[in-house]
Structure 1
Amino acid sequence: MQMLELVVSVCLLEDHARCKEVSLIYMSESTTPMQCMMMSPSEIAKWTEGHPKWFAKKWTCRPAGRYAKI
């Protein structure tokens, strides 16, 4: 099983057309996609508290590192 990452599409409150993806957490190999999705709302809430100008539009759990921009 691969590690998972929670990837969230966030947009600016002032300009809903300005969006980006942020990777919030990497989960262990034993974490299932369902567990990742169940943990997502609390992790997203923590992130938005620290970034009040942004809101989460959508999110997904996917294999970690596969889409990383290095």
Structure 2
Amino acid sequence: MNMINLVLTVCAVASPNTCEERNLSFAADFSLKQCAMAAQPYIAQWVGEHPKWTAVRWRCEYPHHDDKA
């Protein structure tokens, strides 16, 4: 299994111009395109747990192992 990041752009419901990126990481055995197409349940769960935010777009990417903390 490989790790995939689902990168959500979320905006505050009370202030739609206040937007941030959130990363959801999970183990998956499929392509980035398949990840993006299968993302809705993960997005729905995140939004359900964070009702003050709404998801406006998303993308999938492989984690960057060489990023510095």
Q: TM-score range by the shorter chain?
A: 0.7 to 0.9
* TM-score, normalisation: structure 1: 0.79
Q: Which runs of 4+ in 1 moved over 6 A?
A: none
Contact 2:3–2:25 (CA under 8 A) maintained in structure 1: no
Contact 1:8–1:58 (CA under 8 A) maintained in structure 2: yes
Q: Give, in angstroms, the shift of residue 53 of structure 1.
A: 0.4
RMSD: 2.0
Q: How many residue pairs get matched? A: 67
Contact 1:3–1:31 (CA under 8 A) maintained in structure 2: no
Q: Percentage identity across aligned positions?
A: 33
Contact 1:7–1:22 (CA under 8 A) maintained in structure 2: yes
Distance 1:61 1:12, change over 3 A: same
Provide the residue aligned with 2:37 in structure 1.
38
5+ unaligned residues in a row in structure 2: which ranges? none
5+ unaligned residues in a row in structure 1: which ranges? none
Q: Distance in 2 between matches of 1:69 and 1:50?
A: 29
Which amino acid in structure 2 is aligned with residue 47 of structure 1? Answer: W
* TM-score, normalisation: structure 2: 0.80
Q: Give, in angstroms, the shift of residue 65 of structure 1.
A: 3.1
